A and B are shown apart, each in its own frame.
Chain A
Amino acid sequence: MRKSDLTILVADDDPDYLFQTITNLGRAGYKTVAVESQAEAEAVINKFKPNLAIFDLMMESDDSGFILCYKLKRKYPDVPVILATAVAHETGISFSLDSEAEKSWIRADRYLEKGIRAEELDQEIMKLLKI
């Protein structure tokens, strides 16, 4: 499969981060759909099946990303999801996808801290899409 045949849905309420992610993914060769809210992401999911999705955790509500993971997986169990956030263990509540238990709860395939480099992101995506 060629990257240019693959569409990645990106949801993030930080317009700068969204712009950068889209730009980086575009440079890596993917097609992208960008939305700025959980509500918009849900509307897109209802109409269209992306090849992969990247969701910010905190948008309209603090758990928008979790909800989107859940809804996307319910509709398209085979679409890989990356949950991206700037919230880290400083908050006292941390998430990872290292144990089976957490995987069953957080319906995402990868959990990434925001601020990772474009090449790293591309590699994670290629792993998830097996390309």
Chain B
Amino acid sequence: MAVLKVLVVDDEPGIRSGVTRILKTFQVNYPFMDEDYAFEVIEAASGEDGIEIIDRDKPDIVLLDNKLPGIQGIDVLEYIRNKRYDIVVAMITSYASLDVAVKAHKFGATDFIPKPFTPQELKSSIENITKQQYLKRITHQMNEEGKKIRYQFLSVLSHELKAPLNAIEGYLRMMQERQSGDLIEDYAIPIDRSLQRVQSMRNLIMDLLDFTKIRLERKEEKIEEVHLSSIASNAIVTVQPYAIQMEVAVSMNVKSDAVIMADPTDIEIIFNNLISNSVKYNKRGGKAEVTIDENSYEVIISFSDTGIGIKETDRENLFSEFVRIKNEKTKNITGSGLGLSIVRKVIELYNGSIAVDSVPDIGTTFTVRLPKKSN
């Protein structure tokens, strides 16, 4: 049996004692939870008292009245968020105020309990909250145990690989049932779309292969002199058909024909990914440029584009596995969410660094620095 601490902040003594009475005998269990949850209720008559108890007792759940004698419920909520406490907050509110609801939701209130509430209403809210809290903790636990990567790996496999399969299967069925007519020409769109989905699935599989490759250690015997400009030209040739389709002009600017000791496959991974990104996330008629330069101790390669850019808030997780920036501009662009994490891993193998500079709607520049002598 696990016990969750519930803090009820309300200036009406009746509400507080009601919550205490109802939750005293209440327990939550689910088939996939390891143990049942019971509740211990702590009462506070004002927001100020509430904050003191929150700091001291770290409750799991806070039931918060909005209209309080001193500071308001919403202020308490804001306090909890600013302190980044792992607390689920439900607002108790006697009248529907849209402003408060919107603001409360923005600050992370999970649920709303109407006042006056029946014991059943309170119980079902607490049940929902407990479940959420449980899932949050499971996620947290998985993070700590490094299981999250595995979870994401499986979920991307199941989601990203099954989604195109479903789409292609659906189109094939439309054709099998001759839904649009008897002529092959009637199915131009389904065929075209199916091929595109096959292509995106192929890309994902290639990325997955790259990903498993670089998880292995760097192999010393494969290290050789690598001319960056020749890797760059090859990568540009590879991306050219796609660039033509996207109407993006790709160019190369060799300020210094830098040479580095590396496994050429690794350097290809860096160039292929970053050049294809600068085409993929570009605009029609846009430009992409690779610049190669060096100083006495490192090579500096930059990949600039005139594309859709990346918002500052999205940059934080950009290099994590399976992270894809989802917004209106990227929704029709397919990707595995692996490319940049692969690039980062490869660069780290060589003790290098990668930085991103971007202005939304103007463009993005990725700058890669690799030491000439790495150990």
Contacts and interface: CB of A to CB of B under 8 A. Distances in A.
A69 to B, nearest CB: 12
A87 B159 contact: yes
B169 interface: yes
Interface in B160-181: 162-163, 165-167, 169-171, 173-174, 179
A37 B331 CA distance: 10
Contacts of A115: 162, 165-166, 169-170
Given A60-B326, A104-B127, A91 B154 contact: yes
Contacts of A118: 173
A88 B158 contact: yes
B326 A16 contact: no
Contacts, number: 70
Interface of B: 29-31, 124, 127-128, 131, 151, 154-155, 157-159, 162-163, 165-167, 169-171, 173-174, 179, 193, 197, 326, 331-332
A1 interface: no
A102 B154 CA distance: 23
A86 B30 contact: no
A61 to B, nearest CB: 8
29 contacts: A13-B326, A13-B331, A14-B166, A15-B332, A16-B170, A16-B193, A16-B197, A17-B170, A20-B174, A23-B174, A23-B179, A37-B331, A58-B159, A59-B326, A86-B158, A86-B159, A86-B163, A87-B155, A88-B162, A90-B157, A90-B158, A91-B155, A101-B30, A102-B30, A104-B128, A114-B163, A115-B162, A115-B165, A115-B166
Contacts of A101: 29-31, 127
A20 B170 contact: yes
Contacts of B124: 104
A17 B174 contact: no
B25 to A, nearest CB: 18
B95 to A, nearest CB: 17
Q: Which 10 A-B pairs have the closest CB atoms?
A: A16-B167, A20-B170, A86-B162, A115-B166, A91-B155, A90-B158, A114-B166, A91-B154, A101-B30, A86-B163
Interface of A is mostly: loop
A91 B162 contact: no
A47 interface: no
A63 B113 CA distance: 22
A20 B155 contact: no
Given A13-B331, A117-B173, A20 B167 contact: yes
Interface in A76-112: 86-88, 90-93, 99, 101-102, 104-105
B179 A27 contact: yes
A36 interface: yes
Interface of B is mostly: helix
Contacts of A91: 151, 154-155, 158
Contacts of B155: 87, 90-91
A87 B31 CA distance: 20
A123 B324 CA distance: 36
A27 B167 CA distance: 18
Nearest to B161: A86
Contacts of B163: 14, 17, 86, 114
B200 to A, nearest CB: 11
Contacts of A59: 326
Contacts of B165: 115
A24 to B, nearest CB: 8
A90 B159 CA distance: 10
Contacts of A36: 331
B118 to A, nearest CB: 15
B253 to A, nearest CB: 37
